[in-house]
Structure 1
Amino acid sequence: MTEGDLEEKARLHVACWNEAYAGMLPAAWLRENITYEGILARQRRIGWERVLLACDGGRPVGFASWEPEARAWAGRPGASEVSSIYLLRSHQGRGVGRALMEAALDRCPHAEVALIVLEDNARAIGFYEHMGFSLTGRTFADGALREAEMLLAR
């Protein structure tokens, strides 16, 4: 991803969240917390250097991001993190998600890689398990978000 992709990525981010979490998260929470302006500002603040975009015909359809060192939530020194991976539903089941995940994992320097997933997101959990991740039993709650930790040991 480049700085020039920020606006398209922010629109994609909002679309992916609305597709992925409709029915799992309250619609009002999504409207209030996942906004184009908020996502764009956050991405500008944290940077774009560790974000991969998947495109179809030049249009972004998915993205993944990684952290060389897992963020504090993980409490896992010496682990990397896949901090996000989203793909429009129209492009799921075509190998694009796998390619994004593999590309993100290739950039993670540690043998252990952590991620968090909504506890109710069976589809994502199944994908992550297919990619070699396992639920650890650790869970996190923050308002409407109820998340579970997954870990990949390579």
Structure 2
Amino acid sequence: MKKEEITVDKIHKLYEYYAQRNEKALNEIFHENIKWSQLPGFPGGMISIGLKQIFKNVFDGNANRWKEFSFEIDSISIGPEFVLVEGRYEVSAKNSGGQATALTSHVYRFNEQGKIISFQQYTDSKLLWDCYSLSLS
């Protein structure tokens, strides 16, 4: 995937690969040292480097915290240096079943070969913590 070939359809495919936890497909579009930044205030928020850390810290972490965790895309904006994806997390806390919808933005940056080199998350983490903390009480 070259930089100029980044399309809305390819971004939708990326989210399909996330949902499927398709490591092989993600490995083809992620740079080997991708920097994945979840907000420090997000439940489990941290920086992960590389696909193995992303699977452990993000995918497995979310599976441990949430009964349901999905991202619904509202819009995709493709710029010369980045892709901005706006949408909503739909979550259900694992222990209590508390539910929340949090507005979210994801910013992706690509190298010249079209590989994703970074991910930055922006979301209403307080809303998610409120939902999550219901499961701790």
TM-score, normalised by the number of residues in structure 2: 0.32
Higher relative contact order (CA 8 A, sep 6+): 2
Instruction: Kindly indicate which of the two structures has a greater share of residues assigned to helix.
Output: 1
Q: TM-score, normalised by structure 1?
A: 0.30
